[in-house]
Structure 1
C-alpha cells in the first residue's frame, strides 16, 4: 500500500532501498524556506542497522503489512529452535541468534508471536513476563534494608537477575523478558 512520505508514523514498516525498515521515530519539520518533510529514523528488520531519512510529502513509499501468527515453542535442537503453528501444526525452525538473548526465556509449550513477511519469519515476540525459579541466591547481609538494596540471583535458565533480599533459592519470581528485571514473587 503506497503512502505519502509525511504519513509515516512510528511503528510503520516500509519497503525502502530494497529492504524492510521499521520507523522508530518520526519528526515532522516545516522549515521557513522550502517544503515540509518528515525526518524518520529507520531500523532494518533483517540486520538491525539504523538509518535516518528525509521524506517529502510528494514522495511515496510502500507500506508493508506483516502477518502475525501464533506459534508454540517445542524444543531446541543444536543451534535451531523449533516452533509449531497452532492451527496447521506445521513446524518452523529458527536460529537461536535470530531470537537473540531472549531465547533463554523460552519454555516448553510457550506461545510466541512470529512476524512473517511473504512467508519468511522476520521477528519473534515473546510474552512480556515469564515465571522462573531461583536456583541460587546470595544470603541476606545484616543491615540491608528491603527498600534500597538488591542482591544477585541465578534463575533456572542460567541468567542472573537482581532481586530483593527476601527472595531465596527455590522461590518462583515473575521476570520482565524485555528488560530482564525482577517484577514480583509469583503466586
Structure 2
C-alpha cells in the first residue's frame, strides 16, 4: 500500500479497479484547511489523463506492471506477432493494443511488451532506431543556411522531417518517442 503522501512520478497505483501512473504530483499546504496532494494521473489501459486531489493519508495498492523484452517478428493483417527470446513463447497482439508504437520498428527488433495481471496493454519501442530513407526529394544547393527540413519516407513506411542534405539511401537515427530526426549514421 502506498499513501498519497509518498507519491512519486512514474509510480503505478490501483484506484477503483483501474491502474494509473502518476505523471505529476504536488503537495499543497493551504494557509487554511487540511493539506492535500494534487496529481495528474494517466490511466495506463485507456491512455486518458485525469487531474485528482487526494488526502495525504489515503492509501492505494501499488500496481505491478510487467515489462518483458520481446522480439517483433512480423505483422499478419491486423495481428502483430512477438516472441519472448528467453523461452520462445509467441504472442499475437491486435492493432488497437499496438497503436503507433511500431511506426519506426523493423521486423526482428526488440521491444518491451507491458502487461498488467497477464493482460498486455501496450508495446514500448526502442528509444532510438536506425532506418534507411527510401524516398525523399533532393535538396537544392544553397538551401542549407536556414536549417530547413523536408519530408522523407523511411523503410517502415513512416514519414520523418529531415534536413535538406539527407538523401535517398542514407541511414538515419530517429527518436521513437518524438519521431524526430537525430543524425545520419
TM (norm. structure 2) is: 0.94
Structure 2: state its 5+ residue gaps: none
Kindly state the Cα deviation for residue 152 of structure 1 after the two structures are TM-superposed: 1.6
| Moved >6 Å (runs of 4+) | none
SS of structure 1 residue aligned to 2:101: helix
For 2:118 and 2:150, the matched residues in 1 are separated by 44
Contact persistence 1:96–1:103 (CA under 8 A): no
Structure 2 residue aligned with 1:74: 73
Structure 2 residue aligned with 1:110: 109
Contact persistence 1:112–1:127 (CA under 8 A): yes
Alpha-carbon RMSD:
1.4
Structure 1: state its 5+ residue gaps: none
For 1:143 and 1:83, the matched residues in 2 are separated by 46
Structure 2 residue aligned with 1:38: 37
Kindly state the Cα deviation for residue 96 of structure 1 after the two structures are TM-superposed: 2.0
| 1:100-154: CA deviation from partner (whole Å, max 9, x where unpaired) | 1232222121111112211111221111111111111112224312552112211
| 1:66-91: CA deviation from partner (whole Å, max 9, x where unpaired) | 12211111111110110011111111
Structure 1 residue aligned with 2:143: 144
Please tell me whether residue 154 in structure 1 is matched to residue 162 in structure 2.
Answer: no
For 2:170 and 2:110, the matched residues in 1 are separated by 24
Structure 2 residue aligned with 1:25: 24
TM (norm. structure 1) is: 0.93
Deviates most, 145-154 or 75-84: 145-154
SS of structure 2 residue aligned to 1:145: helix
Structure 2 residue aligned with 1:125: 124
Deviates most, 16-25 or 92-101: 92-101
